[in-house]
Amino acid sequence: MSLLLSLSRLIDRANDRIGHTVYWLVLVTVLVSAGNAVVRKGFNVSSNAFLEIQWYFFSAIFLFLAGYTLLRNEHVRIDVLASRFSKRVQTWIDILGTLFFMFPMAILFAWYSWPIFVDTYVHHEISTNAGGLIIWPARLLVPIGFVLLILQGVSEVIKRIAFLRGLAPDPSEKPHERSAEEELAAEIMKERGEQDIAAEIVKQAKDKP
């Protein structure tokens, strides 16, 4: 089990690093979209390439972050019934759902999308839109994204089995990260604390004979 947990941690680190890298594409997509709007409205110049690269970026965000989202336990869950069960039953539901629902779906998508990518790459297909981009990079995103999701599914199953055996913490607990408001409140409290300390030092200095 220790070897499997090591594999799980390796997969988690890989998807975490990919996630922290890829979500910068959100900013890039916004900048491309804004730049395209400014150029089109201000200079009456535009190209379908600007629109298609936004679609490529959005596809990369959606597909490459699927595994990262699973790692963070942020996928939408319909837990009207599951929430009423014990933690062990919920864990078994996660394991069986991953094995019999997520894995078959993700494997089929990865399997059937690969020859589509290969065919597009071999024939050097280009978008039919005027000024459009080559298509194979967009096709390649699909199998890569689903492979990342499959790997993260493997990691989640390992962690849940380890949890059932008492060898790991509950992996279904979402990691708590402070919101922007909490960060601001913490910074204010820190500044107030520093001010109080400074005021106390000054007071003590004044009280000395």
Same domain as 191, residue 102? no
Give residue 204's domain range: 182-209
Query: Do 81 and 10 belong together in one domain?
Result: yes
pLDDT of residue 197: 65
The C-alpha atoms of residue 124 and residue 22 are separated, in whole angstroms, by 26
Please say if the pLDDT value at position 176 is more than 60: no
Residue 66 contacts residue 149 (beta carbons within 8 Å)? yes
Same domain, 18 and 120: yes
| pLDDT (0 to 100) of residue 188 | 65
Question: Quick check: 5 pLDDT over 70?
Answer: yes
pLDDT tens digit sequence for 105-139: 999 999 999 999 999 999 988 888 887 889 999 99
Is the confidence at residue 184, as pLDDT, over 60? no
Q: Which residue has the higher pLDDT, 57 or 172?
A: 57
Using the predicted structure, report yes or no on whether residue 104 has a pLDDT greater than 60: yes
The verdict on 106 and 197 lying in the same domain is no
Write down the pLDDT at residue 142: 96
Contacts of 173 (CB under 8 A, 6+ apart): 73
Q: What is the average pLDDT value for the chain, to the nearest integer?
A: 85
Residue 94 has pLDDT above 60, yes or no: yes
Q: Does position 21 have pLDDT exceeding 60, yes or no? A: yes
pLDDT of residue 185: 62
> Is residue 138 located within the same domain as residue 205?
no
187 and 133 both lie in a single domain: no
Verify that 205 and 120 share a domain, yes or no. no
* CB contact burial 2-23 (16+ within 10 A = b; e otherwise): eebbeebeebbebbeebbeebe
Compute the distance between CA of residue 124 and CA of residue 118 in angstroms, rounded to an integer. Answer: 10
Residue 193 sits in the same domain as residue 107: no
Provide the domain count of the chain: 2
pLDDT digits (tens, 9 = 90+) for 28-85: 999 988 988 888 888 887 788 888 899 999 999 999 999 999 999 888 776 777 778 8
